[in-house]
């Protein structure tokens, strides 16, 4: 059993990116992509992180989040592509 939240010596808590769910506003801030482009990427880009349903509802507008580690990996891959182009 792993510790999801750890406390640093300074008393601040840190989160395990592999088990941390972020919402759309944080996704936009990390990727620099706005909501309409996020949904376009979900449709057209198989490398873009898939959302995690946060409820059992399948209705449009049901809450979703993204795994922080997957988003960070995607951003790193995009940055690496910058050097390869």
Q: What is the pTM of this model?
A: 0.79
Quote the pLDDT of residue 14. 75
Task: Report which of 69, 81, 78 is spatially closest to residue 37, judged by C-alpha positions.
Answer: 78
Domain residue spans of the chain: 20-84
Tokens linked to 18: 């592999």
Q: How far apart are CA 54 and CA 21, in angstroms?
A: 9
pLDDT tens figures, 14-33: 789 899 999 999 999 999 99
Q: How far apart are CA 76 and CA 30, in angstroms?
A: 11
Choosing among 1.10.1660, 2.120.10, 2.60.11, 3.20.14, the CATH entry for 20-84 is: 1.10.1660
């Amino acid at each position: 059993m792993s510790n999801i939240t750890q406390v640093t010596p300074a008393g601040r808590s840190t989160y395990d990116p592999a088990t941390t769910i972020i919402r759309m506003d944080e996704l936009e801030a990390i990727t620099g992509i706005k909501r309409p482009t996020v949904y376009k990427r979900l449709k057209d880009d198989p490398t873009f992180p898939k959302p995690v349903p946060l409820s059992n509802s399948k209705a449009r507008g049901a809450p979703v989040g993204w795994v922080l580690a997957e988003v960070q990996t995607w951003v790193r891959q995009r940055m690496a592509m910058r050097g390869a182009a």
